[in-house]
Homo-oligomer: A and B are copies of this chain.
Amino acid sequence: MSKDNNNFVKEITNIEDDFAKWYTDIVLKADLADYTDTKGCIAIKPYGYAIWENIQKYADKKFKKVGVKNIYLPVLIPESLLNKEKEHVEGFAPEVAWVTMGGNEKLEEKLCIRPTSETMFSVLYSKWVKSWRDLPMIYNQWCNVLRWEKETRPFLRSREFLWQEGHTVHETAEEAQKLTLKMLDTYAEIIEELLAIPVIKGRKTEKEKFAGAEATYTVETLMHDGRALQSGTSHYFGQNFTKPFNVKFQTREGKEEYAYQTSWGISTRLIGGVIMAHGDNRGLKLPPKVAPIQAVIVPVAMQKEGVKEKAEELYNKLSEEFRMEIDTRDNYTPGYKFNDWEMRGVPVRIEIGPRDIENGVCVFVRRDTSEKITVKLEEVSLKLEETLDKIQDNMFNECKNRMLEKTTTAQDMDEFIKNINENQGYVKAMWCGNEECENKIKELTGAHSRCIPFKKENISDKCVCCGKPAKEFVIWGRQY
């Protein structure tokens, strides 16, 4: 082997040895993102950003079917606006960045960079909503937000991140609640169908809900190491914001009433989820539907006559239907390239060399199973579609099986602690509904309540922590 064919996969930390280090290695070496001179903020590189673009396209299409309209509001929010809803400001004020100077002048009122936009939406809704005829307003923005986090990690907890924030306003509580759950279902579809990650849908406890919400619903996912990732949330606000912001409308009966509100968001955090849910010791592993490159063609013995041409012909043909790449770099060996594209998580590698061309075939290598499949050149489009579908399904199933393997049940705290230490993952346990027990569980195990799942199970009639009568079935887990 040539000297540059160093197996750089070795440069990636072993996933079982140090998952956190493995994660950072993937982010940097698969060229998804890089650190910047702005502390706590990353640069999302083309390969990482293309994943986000695919998520955006998929989500935006689904949103538009629900009737969502896109809009754009200011990134700066005056302090007085942020202060209008008490719980909300207490939740967010400690973690916002403040603009205090414009040009060379000190501002009379400082402005925060939006950590989320409930306040800005609400003040505008108070201008825009007059009659029941104006309702509902189902608006969304794709934008950047900033939260002054102390500890940051690329994609998972970055000071600045990209997201969408939907904010809606309705005539009735029922309609708003229905929309809240509709968006949660939409998130579940996006994450399961596109990202091939199974979700658990449920309601957050009072302690874990969004600052200012009546109820927060969540889609929870489980990562390779058994830690949970809150992957999308949808909030029902009732009139919590419409009252302080005076979002009133004339009802069908000619009376005045405060409107009902929701908000919901998913973010570039999902990219972190994809990395951690699917990746392995060979690197990133991308589900075909979201992969920026669905298949890469690597010509073998490229110096031989006709090989490069045939590979390019294949590339042109497949590019009409799939997101393709061809690797004709002349300063790397095929072996180096194989490793490189595996590490970057491309679902299918297509090898084609002189003997293949003679036989009218090429060889598919699946990233998920390493299976090699010899494919006739005239069937290549059909076979690639089929193979990508199989990979997408298999990745979802693998991920689901891992989740099930890492889900345990606990009747008491001894069992809870044993389970989470031996097989970190979800722990199902009953809860009395008391925040003291929730805090104690956190203290003893490091696990937060993930959610009160919509699918209830009846494990016991006693709280796992205090032994008093149980009120709720809860899924617990350590979190990102």
Contacts and interface: CB of A to CB of B under 8 A. Distances in A.
Given A98-B100, A99-B113, A101-B98, A74 B120 contact: no
Given A43-B124, A103-B95, A133-B331, A111 B74 contact: no
Given A38-B77, A97-B111, A98-B100, 10 more contacts: A36-B74, A42-B74, A46-B139, A75-B146, A94-B103, A97-B99, A99-B100, A99-B113, A100-B100, A102-B148
Given A36-B124, A101-B98, A103-B95, A76 B133 contact: no
Interface stretch (A12-20, A64-72, A187-195, A396-404): A64-72
A74 B38 CA distance: 7
A144 interface: yes
Contact of A49 (B72, B74, B95): B72
A42 B73 CA distance: 7
Contact of A34 (B76, B127, B144, B160): B127
16 contacts: A34-B128, A36-B123, A41-B74, A41-B76, A43-B72, A44-B71, A46-B70, A49-B69, A50-B69, A74-B160, A75-B146, A94-B103, A97-B99, A99-B99, A102-B148, A103-B148
A98 B144 CA distance: 17
A36 B120 contact: yes
A98 B113 CA distance: 11
A388 interface: no
Number of copies: 2
B69 A46 contact: yes
Interface residues of A, number: 53
A326 interface: no
A104 B97 CA distance: 9
Contacts of A53: 70
Contacts of A139: 46
Nearest to A158: B74
Interface in A117-167: 120, 123-124, 127-128, 133, 139, 143-144, 146, 148, 160, 162
Contacts of A146: 75-76
A214 to B, nearest CB: 25
Interface string A27-60: 0000000101110011111100110110000000
Contacts of A361: none
A78 interface: yes
Given A45-B71, A71-B49, A81 B143 contact: no
A96 interface: yes
A418 B97 CA distance: 52
Contacts of A72: 43-44, 49, 52, 162
B74 A43 contact: yes
A277 to B, nearest CB: 22
A416 B74 CA distance: 41
Contacts of A96: 102-103
- The 4 A-B pairs with the shortest beta carbon distances in the complex, nearest first, are A41-B74, A46-B69, A98-B101, A102-B148
Given A81-B37, A97-B102, A73 B43 contact: yes
Contact of A160 (B36, B76, B97): B76
Q: Which of A41, A95, A128, A331 is most buried by chain B, counting CB atoms within 10 A of its CB?
A: A41
A44 B142 CA distance: 12
A98 B99 CA distance: 5
B43 A75 contact: no
A333 to B, nearest CB: 16
A52 B142 CA distance: 13
